[in-house]
Amino acid sequence: MIIAVDGPTASGKGTIAKRIAEHFGMAHLDTGLLYRAVGRQVALNEGDPDDPQDALAACDFPDELMQDDILRSEETGGLASRVSVHPDVRQALLERQRAFAQQPGGAVLDGRDIGTVIAPDANVKLFITASVQERARRRWLEMVEKQIDDEEEIPLSEIEKDVVNRDARDINRKDAPLKAAKDAFIIDTTSFDREAAFDMVLDVVKQALEVD
């Protein structure tokens, strides 16, 4: 069984995917972390994230990098968005994601192209979204709360601009752009808190799978 969870940056899809996986006892993969690891590795290699060859070379990152907290920083998110436009990078990460999706016991994957490219036959496809303002506000709150790095002083207006840029890059890239699969359930969480959003999504998944 495969559950695909796609959506734009800071839509809450990661938290929702993780909780859905826990609820059903399935494995979970945050595929954004793979792109973040590539972005980080480009920086470590002192390469150019916009250069397809530098980006491809960085796909050879060591597994331990996936555990590094720096992957969750705003800066690495920006690098990830840049390396993710290169088709060779997407191809290099594709098999890893498909193998994860096919594991016995089932898997929940979250990202941008899970329902469209990685697992087009997923049992349930969700597209989680929220307004730009609300996503920027959530990201800002998260940064202040967690003090992920030394960027917590960034004003909300800057985060909002970054969200808009990130959306534009993810939506407009030629290869596997961010979009809802035709058969995805589109869930807008703008006016819901985390708990209410999760409850709503869980209901949708249960109905789709016809389970209690």
Determine, following the binding rule CB under 6 A, whether residue 115 of this chain makes contact with ligand DC.
no
Determine, following the binding rule CB under 6 A, whether residue 100 of this chain makes contact with ligand DC.
no
Phi, psi of 151 (to 5 degrees): -100, 10
Q: In what order do the strands lie in the sheet with 107-111?
A: 27-30, 107-111, 2-6, 124-129, 185-188
User: 185: closest CA among 167, 166, 200, 170?
Assistant: 200
Determine, following the binding rule CB under 6 A, whether residue 125 of this chain makes contact with ligand DC.
no
Nearer to ligand DC, 103 or 207 (CB): 103
Nearer to ligand DC, 32 or 49 (CB): 32
Phi, psi of 137 (to 5 degrees): -60, -45
Q: What's the number of CA atoms in the CB half-sphere (13 Å) around residue 11?
A: 26
Show the site string, 30-59: x = touches ligand DC by CB under 6 A, - = not: -xx--xx-----------------------
In the bound complex, what is the minimum distance in angstroms from residue 98's beta carbon to ligand DC?
12
Binding span for ligand DC by CB under 6 A among 28-36, 128-136, 142-150, 183-191 = 28-36
Interface pick for ligand DC out of 41, 81, 129, 189 (rule CB under 6 A): 81
Binding span for ligand DC by CB under 6 A among 40-48, 52-60, 109-117, 135-143 = 109-117
Strand segments, DSSP code E, in 69-163 are 107-111, 124-129
At residue 168, what is the residue type? A
Q: How far apart are the C-alpha atoms of 32 and 9, rounded to whole Å?
A: 10
Residues that bind ligand DC (CB under 6 A): 9, 31-32, 35-36, 77, 80-81, 84, 111-113, 166, 170
